[in-house]
Amino acid sequence: MSSIHPTAIVHPKAELGEDVEVGPFTIIEEDVVIGERTKIGPHVQICRWTMIGEDCEIFFGSTLGNPSKDMKYKGWRSYTHIGDRNIIREYVSISRATTEDGATILGDDNLLMNWTNIAHDSIVGDHVIMANFATLGGHVEIEDHARIGAKASFHQFVRVGKCAMAGACAKFVQDLPPFMMGDGYPATIRGLNTMGLSTAVVHAMRSLSKENLRHLKQAYRLLFRSKLNISQAIQRIREEIPEDPEVEYLIRFIESSERGIAI
């Protein structure tokens, strides 16, 4: 049975799962769905058309599913989808999508620290950590196991690849490729995220062989530490590095970039 503080305001059309906890002065609007065992702290606002999974923890002052700040948004139905086992700390803001029936998405097992902002139509994967004041513009995509430093900011439509690390206070106006570390204002690629790769491997419970790491290091040097342009570097990678799924993933990410790569 759910536990709702008497000062909380929960709309009759909101759906709360078993053992949900709702703290003092929290507001839950209509058409909200909250999964079992999720704990919602005091002074939280959960806006219309927000869906939250199971076993999440939501702390003081967060506002989830607030209307898109895109000037094109005119109040139509759009969604915020939040997965399972997320920890959402104080004053986090997540906006719903701009597009009608579109969704801003947060996956599973993420940690969003104080004052993190996820703008409309963004997609955040699983096992992502975003430190204090990290800010995503609209339509940003963050892939699994990424690490986002405090006060890092991302221009609209920028992508961050899996197992990448964004430095604190960095400004990203172009894509951060998988497995890489980016930092600076504007950000550039500073190295291969070897520590992050090890952490991601533990979480995923699979092995990344020494051979995979060696191939990724070779690819990094050709892409970002040679005098080759990106197309030439990719050609050399395909000629010189044995077939490797992680290297191929890196190449596909770069080739599909629309904003270009933070070199």
- Whether 23 sits among the annotated catalytic residues: the reply is no
The pTM is what? 0.95
Of 53, 65, 107, 138, catalytic: 138
Residue with tokens 């963004």: 122
Q: Cα(240)–Cα(185) distance, rounded to whole angstroms?
A: 33
If asked whether residues 230 and 175 sit together in one domain, one would say no
Do 119 and 167 sit in the same domain of this protein?
yes
Q: What is the 3-state secondary structure (H, E, C) of 35-77?
A: CCCCEECCCCEECCCEEECCCCEECCCCEEEECCCCCCCCCCC
Kindly state whether residues 185 and 229 are assigned to the same domain: no
- Measured in whole angstroms, how far is the alpha carbon of residue 120 from the centre of its chain? 12
* 127 part of the active site: no
> According to the model, what pLDDT value does residue 201 have?
59
Predicted local distance difference test score (pLDDT) of residue 207: 61
More confident residue, 74 or 199: 74
Residues 140 and 244 in one domain: no
The yes-or-no verdict on residue 63 having pLDDT over 50 is yes
**CB contact burial 5-17 (16+ within 10 A = b; e otherwise):** eeebebeeebebe
Mean pLDDT value of segment 193-219 = 77
**How much is the pLDDT for 204?**
59
Q: What is the CA radius of gyration of the chain?
A: 20
Q: Is the pLDDT of residue 197 over 80?
A: no
Q: In the chain, what's the furthest Cα-to-Cα distance?
A: 67
Amino acid, single-letter form, for residue 168 = A
For the cut 70, the answer to whether the pLDDT of residue 230 exceeds it is yes
Mean pLDDT for 93-100 is 97
Provide the mean pLDDT of the chain.
Answer: 95
Domain containing residue 241: 207-255
Q: What pLDDT shows up at residue 164? A: 96
What number is the average pLDDT over the span 138-142? 98
Q: What are the pLDDT digits (tens) for 231-253?
A: 999 999 999 999 999 999 999 99
Catalytic residue from among 81, 108, 109, 120: 120
Average pLDDT over residues 55-77: 97
Question: Domain check: are 18 and 103 in the same one?
Answer: yes
Indicate if the pLDDT at residue 206 is higher than 70: no
CATH of the domain at 178: 2.160.10.10
Q: Give the residue-averaged pLDDT of 72-101.
A: 98
Q: Are residues 137 and 33 in the same domain?
A: yes
Of the listed 121, 144, 175, 244, which one is catalytic? 121
Q: What is the DSSP letter of 172?
A: E
Q: Give domain status of residue 201, yes or no.
A: no
Name the burial class of residue 82, with classes exposed (0-12), middle (13-18) and buried (19+) by CB atoms within 10 angstroms of its CB: buried
User: Is the preceding peptide bond at 178 cis, omega within 30 degrees of 0?
Assistant: no
Residues 6+ apart with CB under 8 A from 102: 78, 79, 121
Structural domains of the chain, count = 2
Backbone φ and ψ for 157, nearest 5 degrees, come out as 70, 5
Structure tokens at 70: 């895109």
pLDDT the model gives residue 205: 47
Nearest one of 193, 202, 187, 210 to 261, comparing CA atoms: 187
pLDDT-above-70 percentage for the chain = 97
Q: What is the DSSP letter of 261?
A: B
Same domain as 75, residue 169:
yes
Cβ(150)–Cβ(133) under 8 Å?
yes
Residue 110 lies in a domain: yes
pLDDT at residue 105 tops 50: yes
Residue 210 has pLDDT above 90, yes or no: no
The two beta strands, 180-184 and 187-192, are antiparallel
Determine phi and psi for 249, rounding to 5 degrees: -60, -45
pLDDT tens sequence across 13-60: 999 999 999 999 999 999 999 999 999 999 999 999 999 999 999 999
Q: Reply yes or no on whether 203 is catalytic.
A: no
